């Protein structure tokens, strides 16, 4: 497909304007809300220290799935709210602190791609890593439904954790 300059400019404008789910929620706004809840959950120590997963669960579709690659400390597909709660409990045992920065959204028709840098501090080693990651997220009924995460350097991520 060949785009003229005016069509390309319109496409860039459309990407910046926001992608609303069928429930009328902007995908980027839902993801931002989730990331904020996730950072609060990690800061509170996760499930092992009594943190409430409810704020995050409220943004997940009941059939949501998160896909993590095979070379990260928590690989696999995490399906459904209960399994995602287990995933985030594991994540909170891995990291004692998390700060998601440099967030850039690339909106699509049914979701959003998100580039981030996570400043993550390992609970096991005390080391901190600035982990670049890309997230590809789709919504269903205004809730996060399918989520694939790719880390730029999963080896350093694992070493930071002492693996």
Task: List the chain domain ranges.
Answer: 22-160
Q: State which fold the 22-160 domain adopts.
A: Nuclear Transport Factor 2; Chain: A, (3.10.450)
- Backbone φ and ψ for 22, nearest 5 degrees, come out as -55, -25
pLDDT of res. 51: 92
Instruction: Write out the two tokens for 5.
Output: 């300059």
The residue whose two tokens read 């959950």 is 41
Given a contact cutoff of 8 angstroms between Cβ atoms, the answer to whether 78 and 87 are in contact is yes
Give the CA count within 13 Å in the CB-facing half-sphere of 37: 17
The Cα–Cα gap between 24 and 129 comes to 36
Closest CA to 68 of 8, 123, 147, 140: 147
Quote the pLDDT of residue 7: 40
What does pTM read for this prediction? 0.81
Per-residue pLDDT of the chain (163 residues; tens, 9 = 90+): 333 333 433 343 334 334 544 456 789 999 999 999 999 999 999 999 999 999 999 999 999 999 999 999 999 999 999 999 999 999 999 999 999 999 999 998 889 999 999 999 999 999 999 999 999 999 999 999 999 999 999 999 999 998 8
């Amino acid at each position: 497909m060949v785009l003229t300059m005016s069509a390309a400019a319109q496409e860039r404008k459309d990407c910046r304007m926001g992608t609303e789910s069928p429930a009328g929620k902007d995908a980027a706004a839902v993801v931002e809300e989730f990331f904020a809840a996730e950072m609060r959950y990690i800061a509170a120590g996760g499930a092992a220290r009594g943190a409430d997963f409810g704020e995050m669960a409220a943004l997940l579709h009941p059939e949501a799935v998160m896909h993590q690659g095979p070379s990260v400390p928590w690989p696999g597909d995490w399906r459904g709210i209960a399994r995602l709660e287990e995933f985030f409990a594991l994540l909170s045992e891995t990291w004692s602190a998390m700060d998601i920065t440099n967030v850039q959204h690339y909106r699509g028709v049914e979701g959003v791609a998100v580039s981030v840098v996570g400043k993550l501090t390992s609970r096991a080693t005390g080391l901190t890593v600035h982990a670049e990651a890309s997230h590809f997220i789709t919504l269903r009924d205004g809730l996060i439904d399918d989520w694939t995460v790719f880390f730029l350097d999963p080896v350093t991520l694992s070493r930071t954790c002492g693996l």
